[in-house]
Structure 1
């Protein structure tokens, strides 16, 4: 099956200038050669510690920030090469759910205006038809039609995130990029929103790129997962396989540090040595080697090549 989304060698670096009176310019390697693919109707997870580049990948795929290198193909079309009307059509098919439900909505727009504006921009509906369609979308995400004439500040965080999901659906996308969509919500509300996303995925055959640092959420929602560390993917595979028997020491560390909601199966949390290196000055060789309990001389000398084991893969000399 041809993937819906193909990302190959994606790179995004940021230039940062600090210091006075002699400022020093450094390059932050936020995303440094990321490759993955997403099938139609599949939920693909991106996990890793804060600062590993997950959200930068999500925004670069949609060109909310411009990548420096690499290719992004959606249903065979080159996203980076698209301009004008072609880019608008691609963006109609790819939408994003932002992490913060408070800042992702314009406080000066009513919910009706926020939902009907994308329909007008993409010439899908206008006037009464657009408003009726917005009301139907609100109903689909569990919100009353009366919300159309209210403002974002009148809703709770969970309700705003439902509205954000409805806004992403206004243009009938095929792929949703969910950037930490439940991390700002209470646990009970998280469960409701996740159930809503799963229901929408099945009903609309939506593909997801699900960005999260919560392994429990990814384990429940996603089909496949990629583990990121310092701008690179270090392991990829089926969720059940990666979380049951990780190949990469960093993936194992993440798995062991994730809380288990079972007193019988719960063990002592592992002792994690060292701090995450700076993306402005990553270690030589494998970026994880200063923290790895299985480090070898080869790990310090060069970044390990990608090695496959069946349907799984990892960038580690131990595989």
Structure 2
């Protein structure tokens, strides 16, 4: 597997740290039942895309106009590389969705480039039967820049059913693997129904897109997806009917330094209907400790561990407080 060596290295660090903690707990504290941690701070609003948080009284399905195009859908499984643009200048003059590279913007002066790969399988069922589907987003050398920290490291987000985990080298305030959220499943194949159709965004790239986005107030946090308007054949499965390929995922990052990411766009390349190797999910599941520690990534994730004042900057963790 392409990223097996990196995951194996994370796994070795995880095993060593787990056994070290086990020995310390046994010798000095004695074995005690695990205490349930407060997980409310790790439930993130996504308007129904990743969970039902904030959707208790509705389905979080905005109405469509008769003039709107039909909704595109994800294939039941797929793999795609992508180029990530961390845009820090002139994003108001040139907003997303972007072409690749972004038109009107200058590399290094307006944006930084990094790369990654996403693996998706809507048919996966975890051993504990908690939810369905799996997804891994691998960020090479530049982690997802939505957190108030330097993102210059490799990381992955892996969802196995309803639970989502964060994997890294363990040198950024978190263990090598931690629980990002107990309720953060991969987008369903029909997830786009949860986002409003955006004609203005769809007009980008010579009106070649179907774009869907949500701007959450009062922080004005952007969350959007763009698909190519014209159906095209799949590069991997020649028997599949032409379909509207995903073009980009664009969103608000953490705007202050670091990581200085007011706007981020992941532009897909070689999106294909290839089923990910099942070893990806098996390897991650085998790496999990019995009770994974909650991640401390957002400013309010672990207040007792955060000695600095929370920043007033718009951030994804604020969505749990401002969900409409």
Same fold per superposition (TM over 0.5): no
Which of these two proteins has the greater Rg computed from alpha carbons?
Answer: 1
TM bracket, shorter-chain basis: under 0.3
Q: Which has the higher helix share?
A: 1
